[in-house]
């Protein structure tokens, strides 16, 4: 099965650590990172899609993607 996740978070090292953790668990980057700015909060937020192939399993909506 092919899995998809879209990781989001503030533009800081914690977001980079989340993406790095996913990469080290076999996820691959999919597309370019995204940035958006919230003028009310004065903060920038990041997003990055990641995908992963998992052999021998079938997709079920109840699976926890981050645990795959």
pLDDT averaged per 10 residues in sequence order, the chain, 68 residues:
96 95 97 97 97 92 88
The pTM for the full model equals 0.86
What pLDDT score was predicted for residue 24?
A: 97
Residue 8 to residue 15: CA distance in whole angstroms: 7
DSSP E strands in the chain: the ranges are: 2-10, 28-38, 43-53
What pLDDT score was predicted for residue 6?
A: 97
């Amino acid at each position: 099965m092919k899995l998809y996740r879209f990781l989001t978070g503030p533009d800081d090292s914690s977001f980079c650590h989340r993406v790095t953790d996913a990469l080290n668990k076999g996820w691959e980057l999919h597309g370019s990172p995204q940035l958006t700015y919230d003028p009310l909060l004065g903060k920038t937020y990041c997003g990055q899609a990641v995908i992963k192939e998992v052999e021998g399993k079938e997709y079920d909506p109840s699976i926890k993607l981050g645990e795959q």
